């Protein structure tokens, strides 16, 4: 589970509830019309903007924002290094056995392509195509949430305008003006909360995850190509760890290979 998303969402909702409960009165903020207009309006426009499959699928996409990042860079690098050692002793074909133990499908597919004897350029092409298609699909998922985040305040305002138009028409009883405006404003509040606490942050988290996944996939591609080229495990480690932010690198990881290690090998 992605603790950050859960903590953020829970504490955000909690804070708003605390402020409402100590300042006002919860039932005043529960409003069926506001729910209908903001929730329904956002869903309706999403249907117009995209298609049924995309909108329904966006629920599954949203769940990803609540799941732990499954791309552990360090684990990937460790596994790559042991494959690298295996390949240096048993040859590329020696990876066939190890391949079956790789659980990440993208990683396994890459090793499979290498074991099948495909050449470097082809492997890079196939894997990069996968990366670019995945990114495009994810971008669509993010766009659904971003558009919902843009629409929510608009429908909140539409609800408030409907309320105001009605209230202003019959202002005979001044004591009713306040409560009527209060009800009208709740719509704007719903739109602002839903957009800024749910839709926009989730769109951002999905974008963040996509970048993490793309980075991990890049590490996998570079690693497999380097194994094919017979790069020394020491150099491979240095190369792959250059993708890891400095604060996350393990001690000793970025040391210089001992003197005789020709750096040219790294250039491949």
Site for its own copies in 31-50 (CB under 8 A): 33, 36-37, 40-41, 43-50
Looking at the Cβ atoms of 82 and 255, the one nearer to its own copies is 255
Sole binder of its own copies in the list 67, 97, 161, 229 (CB under 8 A): 161
202 part of the interface to its own copies, by CB under 8 A: yes
Looking at the Cβ atoms of 3 and 63, the one nearer to its own copies is 3
Write the CB contacts of 113 (distance below 8 Å, at least 6 apart in sequence): 122, 123, 126, 127, 224
Looking at the Cβ atoms of 52 and 63, the one nearer to its own copies is 52
For residues 226-245, which are near its own copies according to CB under 8 A? Answer: 242-243, 245
C-alpha span between 229 and 236 (Å, rounded): 11
74 part of the interface to its own copies, by CB under 8 A: no
- Please state the closest distance from residue 147 (CB atom) to its own copies, in A: 7
| Tokens, residue 181 | 């405006």
C-alpha span between 69 and 8 (Å, rounded): 16
- Please state the closest distance from residue 88 (CB atom) to its own copies, in A: 22
Which conformational region is residue 230 in: left (phi greater than 0), alpha (psi within -120 to 50 degrees), or beta?
left
Write the CB contacts of 116 (distance below 8 Å, at least 6 apart in sequence): none
Longest dimension (CA), the chain: 93
- Please state the closest distance from residue 7 (CB atom) to its own copies, in A: 5
Looking at the Cβ atoms of 88 and 108, the one nearer to its own copies is 108
Looking at the Cβ atoms of 98 and 154, the one nearer to its own copies is 154
- Please state the closest distance from residue 37 (CB atom) to its own copies, in A: 6
Q: How crowded is residue 84: how many other Cβ atoms within 10 Å of its Cβ?
A: 23
DSSP string of 216-246, one letter each residue: HHHHHHHHHHHHHTT--HHHHHHHHHTTS-G
Looking at the Cβ atoms of 195 and 236, the one nearer to its own copies is 195
C-alpha span between 74 and 80 (Å, rounded): 10
For residues 117-136, which are near its own copies according to CB under 8 A? Answer: 117-119, 121-122, 125-126, 129-130, 133
């Amino acid at each position: 589970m992605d603790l950050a998303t859960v903590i953020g969402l829970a504490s955000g909702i909690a804070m708003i509830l605390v402020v409402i409960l100590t300042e006002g009165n919860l039932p005043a903020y529960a409003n069926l019309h506001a729910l209908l207009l903001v929730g329904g309006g956002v869903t309706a426009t999403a249907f117009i903007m995209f298609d049924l499959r995309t909108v329904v699928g966006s629920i599954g996409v949203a769940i990803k924002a609540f799941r732990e990042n499954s791309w552990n860079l360090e684990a990937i690098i460790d596994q790559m290094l042991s494959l690298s050692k295996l390949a240096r002793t048993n040859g590329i074909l020696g990876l066939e056995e190890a391949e079956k133990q790789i659980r990440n499908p993208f990683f396994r597919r890459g090793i499979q392509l290498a074991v099948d004897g495909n050449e470097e350029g082809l492997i890079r092409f196939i894997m990069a195509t996968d990366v670019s298609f995945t990114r495009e699909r994810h971008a669509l998922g993010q766009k659904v949430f971003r558009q919902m985040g843009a629409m929510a305040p608009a429908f909140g305002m539409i609800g408030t305008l409907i309320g105001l138009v009605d209230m202003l028409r019959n202002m005979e009883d001044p004591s009713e003006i306040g409560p009527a405006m209060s009800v009208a404003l709740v719509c704007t509040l719903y739109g602002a909360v839903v957009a800024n606490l749910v839709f926009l942050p989730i769109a951002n988290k999905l974008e963040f995850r996509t970048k993490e996944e793309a980075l991990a996939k890049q590490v996998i591609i570079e690693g497999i190509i380097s194994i094919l080229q017979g790069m020394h495990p020491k150099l491979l480690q240095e190369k792959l760890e250059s993708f890891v932010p400095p604060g996350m690198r393990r001690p000793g990881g970025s040391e210089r290979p001992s003197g005789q290690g020709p750096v040219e090998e790294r250039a491949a």
